[in-house]
Amino acid sequence: MLQLARRPGWLLSNLSIIAGVVLHGVALSLGALVVVQPLLVTGLLFAMPISARLHRTRVSRAQWQWAAVTVAGLGAFLALTGGGSGHTQPDLDGMGAGLWPGPRLKAALYGITSGTAAGLAAAALKASTGLLGQAGHQLLRSPYPYAALALGTVAFVLSQVAYRSGPLAASLPALPLSDPVASIAVGVGLFAEQITRGAGTRAAQAAVLLVTVTAVVALARAEATPAPDAHQSQPHPLPYRV
């Protein structure tokens, strides 16, 4: 971590993360978890041309196609979800690393854990922004802002561990997928957010989610696999944003 701290690009990426967290909090104060968090997978779409520029390669036709499928699937899911209206506060009343067999599974599990922590941090951040809008004087007495900070830190550290533990093709898809899954579960379970409006809608949502997940995995693996003519010195992946 100390070696990374000496890299200007790594520091710049973390400054962008701080700005992103602020904007993320604004988005969560205005919208539901089941709407805001799935949009984080679009980070792969922005990373795609940046990665191509850093590696001095071109974005392949397959990557553009999977990007289009991702956008279409995500758009269809959000359209079927609707506003995802719910509460601003969660309803809490209703509520071995050394044994992993290889670096690929280890990287994937670290990635899933990081994404899940990021999704939970987003839930705590949403509760904090909701409390700020309703009773700002109670914010510092609430556990939510501290939980958001702690979980966000855990998510960041685990994302760095995931990148170092195994191939990017294993960790990169796990990060943006586990985050919205955890957020949707919390949004529906604790914030009473709605993502379905009938049996037909549920079937359509399941179909577009399957397509979107397939596209995200394919796109993430394509970005994690350096081109044959790429420069030998590969830049370290950007930190994952909560």
Hunting for tokens 């992103």 — which residue is that?
A: 20
Instruction: Please list, in sequence order, all residues whose beta carbon lies within 8 angstroms of the beta carbon of residue 229, skipping any fewer than 6 positions away.
Output: 57
How many other C-beta atoms can be found within 10 angstroms of the C-beta atom of residue 100?
16
pLDDT band at 149 (very low <50, low <70, confident <90, very high): very high
Location of structure tokens 């990426």: 13
Distance of alpha carbon 67 from alpha carbon 71, whole angstroms: 6
Ranking 79-88, 171-180, 204-213 by mean pLDDT, the lowest is 79-88
Quote the pLDDT of residue 133.
67
Give the residue among 2, 11, 27 at the shortest CA–CA distance from 183.
27
Q: Of 38-42, 64-68, 140-144, which range is least confident?
A: 38-42
Of the two residues 11 and 93, the one the predictor is more confident about is 11
* pLDDT tens-digit readout, 151-198: 999 999 899 888 888 877 778 788 888 888 888 888 888 888 877 667
What was the pLDDT predicted at 203?
Answer: 82
Phi-psi region of 193 (alpha: psi -120 to 50; beta: other; left: phi over 0): beta
Enumerate long-range contacts of 22-31, CB under 8 Å, 24 or more apart: 24/122, 24/125, 24/241, 24/242, 25/125, 25/128, 25/129, 26/129, 28/122, 28/125, 28/126, 28/129, 29/126, 29/129, 29/130, 29/132, 29/133, 31/83, 31/84
Higher confidence at residue 119 or residue 54? 119
pLDDT of 46 strictly over 70: yes
Provide the pLDDT confidence category of residue 93 given band limits of 50, 70 and 90: low
- What number is the average pLDDT over the span 62-77? 87
Q: What is the pLDDT of residue 140?
A: 83
Q: What is the pLDDT of residues 72-83, one digit of tens each?
A: 888 888 787 766
Among 150, 141, 143, 92, which residue's Cα sits nearest to residue 121? Answer: 150
Examine the pLDDT at 97 and tell me if it is beyond 50. no
Q: How confident is residue 100, by pLDDT bands cut at 50, 70 and 90?
A: very low
Q: What confidence category does residue 98 fall into, taking pLDDT thresholds of 50, 70 and 90?
A: very low
Q: What share of the chain in percent tops pLDDT 70?
A: 79
> Which is higher by pLDDT, 39 or 93?
39
At residue 102, does pLDDT exceed 80?
Answer: no
Quote the pLDDT of residue 2.
65
Q: Tell me the whole-structure pTM to 2 decimals.
A: 0.62
pLDDT of residue 147: 93
For residue 82, what is the DSSP state? T
Does 229 have pLDDT greater than 70?
A: no
Statement: residue 1 has pLDDT above 70: no
